[in-house]
Copies of this chain bind each other. A is one copy, B any other.
Amino acid sequence: MSGRREANKRDKHKRIIEAAHRLFREKGFDKTTTNEIAAAAGVGTGTVFTYAPTKDDLLIQVFHKEVAFSIDSALPEAMEQASLIDRTIAFLDFFLAYFEQDIPLARALMRQLGYVQSEAQRDLVLDLFRRASLCLVEILEDGQKTGEVSADVSLETAAATMFAIFHLNIGPYLSGMINRKEFDASLREGLKAFKRGL
């Protein structure tokens, strides 16, 4: 019986993530303390930090699965739109809808994206980028079939650029510097500009 350790660890990790998830949702990221999380998970304070090196890491771990799911399920909906731009915006909107459930939390999450602190965090963030990129590539591929996208563009680069445009706009929106309407307009304008080129 040498699997006892593994099983215990899995169980503890799960309890910590679940406790953190509940508390972040209930009280928000900032107002939740790591001690509370530990108490709610039934472990010592220090234990939390053996499963996540920082509180920010914990945030990513907690929401990675949900965000990944949200990205993946956004694509089918988006594909129903008529044009390339509309499909792209629908995809990003769907993704945004998940975020809008809790803007401060989304803000805390997005803030990490470009500026991760640990290896583990990096892997999870890269996974999210990759998923979003795959979806955008699929939208672009579809655009090639309808002739909206020229056959010889690099779809990966194009996807990255579209994501960059999204990313640049979402920060100010989540920080309350621009409202939803302004965000929508700016995003659409940016995507249209990208489509036509210089």
Residues of chain B contacted by A1 (CB below 8 angstroms): none
> Could you say which of B111, B143, B171 contacts A198, with CB atoms under 8 Å apart?
B143
Q: Establish whether residues B193 and A115, one from each chain, have CB atoms under 8 Å apart when the complex forms.
A: no
> Could you say which of B116, B157, B175 contacts A175, with CB atoms under 8 Å apart?
B116
Interchain CA distance A170-B153 in the complex, whole Å: 23
Smallest Cβ-Cβ distance to A168: which chain B residue: B164
- Given A111-B111, A113-B171, A115-B175, are A198 and B153 neighbors across the interface (CB < 8 Å)? yes
Residues of chain B contacted by A186 (CB below 8 angstroms): 160
- Given A153-B196, A189-B157, are A168 and B163 neighbors across the interface (CB < 8 Å)? yes
Please encode chain A, from 129 to 169, with 1 for each CB lying within 8 Å of some chain B CB and 0 for all others: 00000000000100100001110011001101101110110
Distance of A87 from chain B, by nearest CB (Å): 13
Beta-carbon contacts under 8 Å, A55-97 to B: 84
Residues of chain B contacted by A140 (CB below 8 angstroms): 198
Interface flag for A13 (CB, 8 Å): no
Interface flag for A172 (CB, 8 Å): yes
Residues of chain B contacted by A114 (CB below 8 angstroms): 110-111, 167-168, 170-172, 175
> Could you say which of B165, B171, B196 contacts A115, with CB atoms under 8 Å apart?
B171
A-B pairs with lowest CB-CB distance, top 4: A197-B197, A114-B171, A164-B168, A164-B164
